[in-house]
Amino acid sequence: MTRLLVVDDSALIRRLFGELFSDTGGFEIAFARNGVEALQQIEAFQPDVVTLDVHMPEMDGLACLDQIMLLRPCPVVMVSAMTEAGADVTLEAMVLGAVDFVPKPGGAISLKMDALGPLLVEKVRAAATARPPKAYRLAERLRRRNGERKPAGMALPQPSERPAPLPRPGPFDGLVLVGTSTGGPPALDALLGWLPADFPCPILVAQHMPATFTGPLSRRLDKLCALTVVEVTRPTPLAPGHVYIGKGDADLIVGSRPSGLVALPAPSKAEYRWHPSVDRLVSTAMDHVAAERLIGILMTGMGNDGAASMTELREKGGRTIAESEETAVVWGMPGELVRAGGADWVEPLDEIAGRLLELVG
């Protein structure tokens, strides 16, 4: 039985969420109307997972989340407005330690619950099994409060001893393909924040997110990283030192023009369950670039998106890195890659950038 705490100032939302999880079965449910009540319930109810509204009286969602992560860390799923302002707040919540988010239904709420319900149940169940990296989040939060992006003098983390990569005649001149989902934004911070502005090849990222969130995510990463980060909303030529984020609710694919390779937004296809699709990104990259010029990185996320295509990439001569179970918030996607035998290296989050720099020479 999973203990779920639903925190929302709307009595209707509390009732609808309560009915949804009661009808689903396997949940013991408690409720709170604001952050103050939530902190009391955290101590009394000891929940396995929390759904947390952002805008509440007395203590809002961000302040409550901050206290949860300091006093009794547990998986939290934010219930967020589907607006750009809501996206900025949600990304802030994920930096503070939230595992995932779901859209808050608006308008005729009871009618929209039929569509939202399965997604909410899936995300709460995944969050209940998550292992948030508590110490990492705490350190990041303290740095942010001190106005620092990285601690002064911190050296780039070095990868642990693994078999050496195949020798290359010169700097790597291909593409890096990154896939992530649940827990992905902080993982992208950790990966991209260590890479230099003169990184020698383009990086393409498929992060499962709605369309209203990928623009704010791109802008946030662009401020945090030495690399230039953009959301792909139109055909965009690929260049070294740039990161290309797939637009949410669509797919990111690789194409070719007479002038060179481009990143393209593409309407989502029903054959791919998650979007932007990691499998579709990797498959289209292999259509235009030799496998040995591709590096695939699969990080935290529920499901199996990217596992099949990156396994194929490795079989054809490409290189692949999976985030290890010890640091992944949800070891779904990278775990499936490892189980399929498709990972050349299995690295904790803080060593993936070092391994990547080693591979690109």
181 is catalytic: yes
State how far the alpha carbon of 226 is from the alpha carbons of 42, 198, 243, 347, 349, in Å: 39, 9, 10, 23, 19
Rounded to 5°, angle at Cα 271 from 270 and 276: 75
Task: Give 3-state DSSP helix, strand, coil % of the chain, rounded to 5.
Answer: 40, 20, 35
- Residue 201 near residue 170 (C-beta atoms within 8 A): no
Catalytic residue among 189, 251, 305, 344: 305
User: Given the structure tokens 């808050």, which residue do they identify?
Assistant: 104
Contacts of 322 (CB under 8 A, 6+ apart): 297, 298, 299, 334, 335, 337, 338, 342, 343, 345, 346, 347
277 is catalytic: no
| Chain centroid offset of residue 263 CA | 20
DSSP state of 38: H
84/66 Cα distance (integer angstroms): 22
Catalytic residue among 8, 48, 208, 242: 208
Query: Number of helices and strands (H, E) in the chain?
Result: 12, 15
275 is catalytic: no
DSSP state of 356: H
SS (H, E, C) 71-123: HCCCCEEEEECCCHHHHHHHHHHHHHCCCEEEECCCCCHHHHHHHHHHHHHHH
Angle formed by the axes of helices 211-224 and 184-192, to 10°?
30
Catalytic residue among 53, 100, 181, 309: 181
Amino acid present at 210: P
Full DSSP string of 144-208:
HHTT-SS-TTPPPPPPPS-PPPPP-SSS--SEEEEEE-TTHHHHHHHHHTTS-TT-SS-EEEEE-
- Comparing C-alpha atoms, which of 204, 207, 201 is closest to residue 187? 207
User: Given the structure tokens 């998550």, which residue do they identify?
Assistant: 130
Token readout for 59 is 């203590």
Query: What are the catalytic residues?
Result: 181, 208, 305
